[in-house]
C-alpha cells in the first residue's frame, strides 16, 4: 500500500485543494498521512472535516515544530506501508498518480538494488518542470541523473519506505532544514531508481516556500548546507562542478559556527585553495544584495 505524505505548517488554506485531488484518484489504495508540524492555524479543524467526510483513509499526526526534515523523518517512522510518496501541501497530483505508481511498481518491487520510481512534475498549465534527459523508462541513480545527465527541476520520487528508514534526514542542533540532495546522494551510493517519463505531480511554488528563498534558508541552516556541499566534493564529478561546490561550501561555511581551520580540514585542500577566495566575492555580492533589499 502507498503512504501519501504531506507535511504541513500553517497551510490549512491549501489543504482542501490537495484533498480534492486525492479524492479524484482513479485508484484509492493509499493512506494520506498528514504531519502537522506545530501549525498555529486551523489545520486540525480542516483535517477533521476531511476525516468526517470519510472519503479517504486519512492519518493525521501532530508534532512539535521542527521543520521539513524532522516532519519527513517523523512520517517515515509512523508508517508501515511499503511505498512512500511525498506530496507537499501547496502542490497537487494528476488523477492517475496512484494508478501510475501501482502500474510501474513491478520495476522495483523485488529488486533490492532499486529504491523506487521517479516521475516527472508539471505546472498547472501542463508544461513540464525543468529538463528531463530520458524519453524512455531508464534506470539511473539520483546523483548521476543530476550531475552526469544534467537533469534540472523537481521530480516526484516514490520510494520504498524500507530505504527511507535506512537514510533519514540528518538533524543539526538549532537548525530545521538541510538540502534534500544530502539524503538522495547518500541513497545513490547504494541504490538506483527507475525514471518514468510521465508527469503525475502538479508543482506550485508559493511565495513563503523554502524554494522561493533558498539562499536565505541555506545560510540560516548552514551546518546542514555545508555537510551537503562537503559530501559532494568527495563524489565523482567534473572540474567545473567541483569548483562550483567548493564556492558554495565556503559561501555557507562562514555561517556554520565552526572555525576556519575546522572547515578547512573537512574538505580537500584544492577545494579550499579554489573555493575560499572566490567565496569572498560571492559573499560580497550577497552583502550588497542584502543592503538593497533593506532599502526597498
Q: Quote the cell numbers at residue 78.
A: 509512523
Which pLDDT belongs to residue 145? 96
Task: State how far the Cα of 166 lies from the Cα of 77, in Å rounded to an integer.
Answer: 11
What pLDDT was estimated at residue 207?
A: 61
Average pLDDT of the segment spanning 137-147? 96
pLDDT of residue 213: 77
289's CB contacts (< 8 A; 6+ apart) are none
Q: Span 32-52, mean pLDDT?
A: 97
Residues of the chain above pLDDT 90, percent: 89
User: What residue ranges do the domains of the chain occupy?
Assistant: 2-202, 211-295
Q: What is the pLDDT of residues 259-287, one digit of tens each?
A: 999 999 999 999 999 999 999 999 998 88
At residue 239 the predicted structure's pLDDT band, cuts being 50, 70 and 90, is very high
Greatest Cα pair distance in the chain: 61
In this prediction, residues 87-107 reach a mean pLDDT of 98
179-212 pLDDT, tens digit per residue, is: 999 999 999 999 999 999 999 999 987 665 555 4
Q: What nine digits make up the cell of 156?
A: 516526484
Q: Is 285 exposed, middle or buried (0-12, 13-18, 19+ CB in 10 A)?
A: exposed
What pLDDT score does 212 carry?
A: 46
The CA–CA distances, whole Å, from 274 to 47, 196, 245 equal 51, 38, 10
CA distance 181 to 107: 23
Query: What's the whole-number mean pLDDT along residues 246-257?
Result: 96
Half-sphere exposure of 218 (CA within 13 A, CB side): 22
* Mean pLDDT over the full length of the chain: 94
Contact assessment for residue 205 and residue 111, using Cβ atoms and an 8 Å cutoff: no
Say if domain 2-202 classifies as CATH 3.30.310.40: no
Residues 6+ apart with CB under 8 A from 87: 4, 5, 6, 18, 93, 201
Query: What's the rounded mean pLDDT across residues 216-227?
Result: 95
Structure confidence at residue 16 (pLDDT): 97
**Predicted confidence (pLDDT) per residue in 11-24, tens digit:** 999 999 999 999 99
Mean local confidence (pLDDT), 108-134: 97
CA angle 204, 145, 274 (to 5 degrees): 100
Whether 243 and 271 have beta carbons less than 8 Å apart is answered as no
Amino acid at each position: 500500500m502507498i503512504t501519501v505524505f504531506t507535511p504541513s505548517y500553517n497551510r490549512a488554506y491549501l489543504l482542501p485543494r490537495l484533498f480534492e485531488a486525492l479524492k479524484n484518484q482513479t485508484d484509492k489504495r493509499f493512506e494520506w498521512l498528514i504531519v502537522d508540524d506545530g501549525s498555529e492555524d486551523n489545520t486540525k479543524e480542516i483535517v477533521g472535516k476531511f476525516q468526517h467526510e470519510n472519503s479517504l483513509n486519512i492519518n493525521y499526526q501532530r508534532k512539535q515544530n521542527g521543520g521539513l526534515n524532522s516532519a519527513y523523518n517523523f512520517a517515515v517512522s509512523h508508517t508501515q506501508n511499503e511505498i512512500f510518496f511525498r506530496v507537499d501541501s501547496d502542490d497537487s497530483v494528476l488523477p492517475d498518480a496512484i494508478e501510475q505508481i501501482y502500474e510501474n511498481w513491478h520495476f522495483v518491487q523485488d529488486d533490492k538494488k532499486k529504491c523506487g520510481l521517479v516521475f516527472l512534475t508539471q505546472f498547472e498549465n501542463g508544461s513540464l518542470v525543468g529538463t528531463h534527459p530520458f524519453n524512455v523508462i531508464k534506470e539511473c541513480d539520483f546523483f548521476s541523473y543530476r550531475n552526469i545527465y544534467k537533469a534540472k527541476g523537481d521530480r516526484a520520487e516514490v520510494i520504498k519506505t524500507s530505504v527511507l528508514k535506512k537514510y533519514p534526514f540528518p538533524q543539526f542542533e538549532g537548525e530545521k532544514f538541510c538540502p534534500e540532495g544530502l539524503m538522495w546522494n547518500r541513497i545513490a551510493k547504494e541504490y538506483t531508481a527507475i525514471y518514468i517519463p510521465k508527469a503525475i505531480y502538479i508543482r506550485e511554488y508559493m511565495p513563503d516556500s523554502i524554494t522561493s528563498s533558498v539562499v536565505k534558508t541555506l545560510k540560516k541552516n548552514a551546518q546542514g548546507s555545508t555537510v551537503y556541499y562537503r559530501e559532494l566534493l568527495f563524489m565523482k564529478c567534473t572540474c567545473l562542478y567541483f569548483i562550483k561546490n567548493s564556492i558554495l561550501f565556503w559561501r555557507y561555511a562562514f555561517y556554520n559556527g565552526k572555525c576556519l581551520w575546522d572547515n578547512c580540514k573537512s574538505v580537500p585542500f584544492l577545494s579550499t585553495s579554489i573555493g575560499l577566495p572566490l567565496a569572498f566575492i560571492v559573499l560580497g555580492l550577497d552583502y550588497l544584495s542584502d543592503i538593497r533589499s533593506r532599502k526597498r
